[in-house]
Structure 1
């Protein structure tokens, strides 16, 4: 329980640090790199992100089955499973390297119509470095999953916090020395390798795991493949949602438009991170609940309890961004990035509900019931892609964002809520009643704040900062007295006692 609570708190600390550092560091980065160079870096990162789906969902499988084996005290099978996954990941790493090399040799074919020779050369170098980084990451990612399964969240989160702080500091030095996007890729690769080696050391010397290469259990491999396949499809969908836009815009418009879209994707990633911070530590616990045959009432209570706390955070961020986001982006990134505000809104508004219900995904993983969600998301993402391409031709980044937004509303809100209620047994009507009551405060505060802010010009950081501070104080005050229930008011620390025995 201490690992769970402290791990969740450290998750929020890491998110807080990530966002604060991003606020300070990204404007400097944008100005040092320039819009074109930043667009090139974002484009390559989005292309390489597709190769991360080659994990095939095995990371979640390691966490689930390790937690299951620990509950059942099946240590020998656990160590055999680690050996099997290490072999699989080595093969995946080699395969990712081959695909990456294929992309490296075809960069000019993909982007020659919108990029010049110098831009294509930089893309090739970054793509090669990122591919090598990914090929190394796959085998060593086994150890990060093991640490999660053993619920050693404190160590894992502290390492992540150290990386969050050190990475931009080194980047600033590199940028001041004249290195640009390629230098950033080199630094990121080095930090990644060091983190992977630390995870390996921790597993071997602290958790004291063993890896057995005794036999390849084909029956077990078939079982985990079925489980992992649906998570793999979900990963593909995520890549279609959040990486395809840069690729499409890179083909039709070039690096500058990609940079504008990439800023919006950065805000989307931050927004999603605030939600996943809680649910990321719950898979082992939910798996244990399922293994102990806990009834739907217990699962629903946990779903709603976590969802309420997530909604408090998500509605605060969303309302604040609607009110202050446009002024903030223009001051933060520059006047050339004003369109990023509208693209970001296309993402954040429909994302709010599925992010509030993120624990539902964890429940599906624990119950090995990812099939429907994964198939649904594949179909919806294909629909999103089919309308995003023509919309992008006419409306650039806004067009891509609208295609994603429509898919999110249909698939992740409407259809999945019906599925959670009818097939999983979660009390969705009660969830929506709770959310409806909580929504009055951000809605009324947002309307009143908009009327007042329409009379003010937030063109200076001081004015913007004071306005955000006043809004934040009012939001916290109103929610404390009229939005929280008695249990939530008793929370002495973030996320304390979310999970009850």
Structure 2
């Protein structure tokens, strides 16, 4: 907690200093009023970032105790409260400041809830007078590359917006932001699944030294197949129904370019999202350093590629740069590292996961027909075809994709639901 409070203070001080120079950060494409608004937003979000350090530590403690129901409930309530609180404020004319203000308020609320749960329910005690510098050195060595990974991830997913702000202005950033937000929603599906298995991964690393890699591979296959089943429904459904969603429900026709932006971000990201349990495995066996180096190179490549593409094609070009980096780093290099550097059987992993693709044949045929022949005139028609496509996907995957273990898991969940 001492370390995280120091990091929180450092983030706060650095953020507030950066907030003094909005023009240098966001470029000359923004008006004076937009720069003033950006400065206010930065200051609010700096507070939000500073609070996430202690809140994240407490959240990790809850996860370590495998109290996932409470953890997911808090997250779900936070997700639901965000639009419920922000939307009325937007209608009252408070603008983007209201949105980030609500986000920070929810962060404070989650922090207080986590403090109460950890101290009162889990009985966790903090001893600030027994600082162990030996443990500090071990934490520093282990955490440096985790921290580097986090920084690089933030750069990689945020750099496109900065590039667009410099070369195209706020309009292009807004379009890209819509596509990026949808990509974030898809990513949350995957991380919500893999994060639940983090304690099990660490248990295998601690207890199964002789048979560790085999167990890791088996667990990664089981989780990866479940992630494929969920993510391919979401991704393929977005290919078919996403354009109408963006232009008629999520935003307006002016944001039509957000559809190809979202596709360029979502589809290449399927590879790392399906196998992202591997990130937990890297951390458990202290082999996450290579990923940091690979992602650092990918971030540099993203910048180099995205600048000319953003100038030529706007938001779509910027997303193309990120897509190329994702395919090279996650599709090729990371899988080679898993296979030869960590001893995981990635050939068996992808052979098992891709065997589910037999179940994609019928949905692809139906999806192609919907895209080619159906024009949605109203939302009721749109929702009807979503239900039709979902049912086709479920039936096809059940009959041609899923194995006996996965069907038994579904049966178990259905019987539990009936009880």
Would you say 1:285 and 2:205 are equivalent positions? Answer: no
Could you say what the CA RMSD is over the residues aligned between the two structures, in angstroms?
A: 1.9
Secondary structure at the aligned position of 2:373 is classed as coil
Conservation of the 8 A alpha-carbon contact between 2:12 and 2:47: yes
Q: Flag structure 1 segments of 5+ consecutive residues without an equivalent.
A: 1-85, 497-501
Q: Please give the alpha-carbon distance, in whole angstroms, between the structure 2 residues aligned to 1:260 and 1:382.
A: 23
Distance 1:346 1:111 in 2: 24
Q: CA deviation at 1:196?
A: 0.2
1:445 equivalent in structure 2: 363
Q: Distance in 2 between matches of 1:231 and 1:307?
A: 22
Is 1:460 the counterpart of 2:375? The answer is no
Structure 1 segment 118-267 matched on structure 2, within 5 A: 118-267=33-182
Q: Is the CA contact 2:205–2:285 (under 8 Å) kept in the aligned structure 1?
A: yes
TM-score by length of 2: 0.93
Higher mean C-alpha deviation, range 337-346 or range 426-435:
426-435
CA contact (8 A) 2:366 2:389 kept: no
Distance 1:493 1:355, change over 3 A: farther
Listed one character per residue, the Cα deviations across residues 43-78 of structure 1 (whole Å, up to 9, x for unaligned) are xxxxxxxxxxxxxxxxxxxxxxxxxxxxxxxxxxxx
Could you tell me which residue of structure 2 aligns to residue 489 of structure 1? Answer: 407
Unpaired runs of 5+ in structure 2?
A: 415-419
For residues 99 and 368 of structure 2, what CA distance do their matches in structure 1 show? 39
Tell me the SS of whatever aligns to 1:490.
helix
Are positions 1:379 and 2:294 aligned together? no
- Is 1:403 paired with 2:321? yes
Secondary structure (helix, strand or coil) at the match of 1:491 reads helix
Deviation at 1:167, TM superposition (A): 2.7
Asked if the contact 1:93–1:139 (Cα under 8 Å) also holds between the matched residues in 2, the reply is yes
Query: In 2, distance between residues paired with 1:265 and 1:495?
Result: 33
| Residue number among 202, 223, 248 corresponding to 1:306 in the alignment | 223
User: What is the alpha-carbon distance in structure 2 between the residues aligned to residue 183 and residue 445 of structure 1?
Assistant: 41
TM-score normalised according to structure 1 size: 0.78
Offset at 1:217? Answer: 2.5
Counterpart-to-counterpart distance in 2, 1:180 and 1:493:
47
Work out which of the residue numbers 355, 369, 380 in structure 1 matches 2:273: 355
**Aligned with 2:409: secondary structure?**
coil
Give the Cα separation in 1 of the matches to 2:246 and 2:76.
Answer: 26
CA 1:387/1:312 → structure 2, altered by over 3 Å: closer, same or farther? Answer: same
Displacement, 1:133?
Answer: 2.5
Query: For the residues of structure 2 that align with 1:137 and 1:315, how far apart are their CA atoms?
Result: 31
* Corresponding residue SS for 2:17: helix
Taking the aligned partners of 2:235 and 2:266, their CA distance within structure 1 comes to 7
Residue correspondences, number = 411
Distance 2:214 2:291 in 1: 22
Deviation at 1:140, TM superposition (A): 4.0
- 1:427-483 alpha-carbon deviations (Å, 9 max, x no partner): 211222223321133245314431453122224322222221111111101111111
Q: Partner of 2:227: helix, strand, or coil?
A: helix
Counterpart in 2 of 1:331? 248
Task: Kindly report which structure 2 residues correspond to 1:20-99, keeping only aligned pairs within 5 A, or say none.
Answer: 86-99=1-14
Structure 1 residue aligned with 2:417 = none
Cα contact 1:319–1:442 (8 A) shared by 2 = no
- Displacement of 1:290 in angstroms is 0.8
Contact 2:27 2:165 in 1 (8 A): no
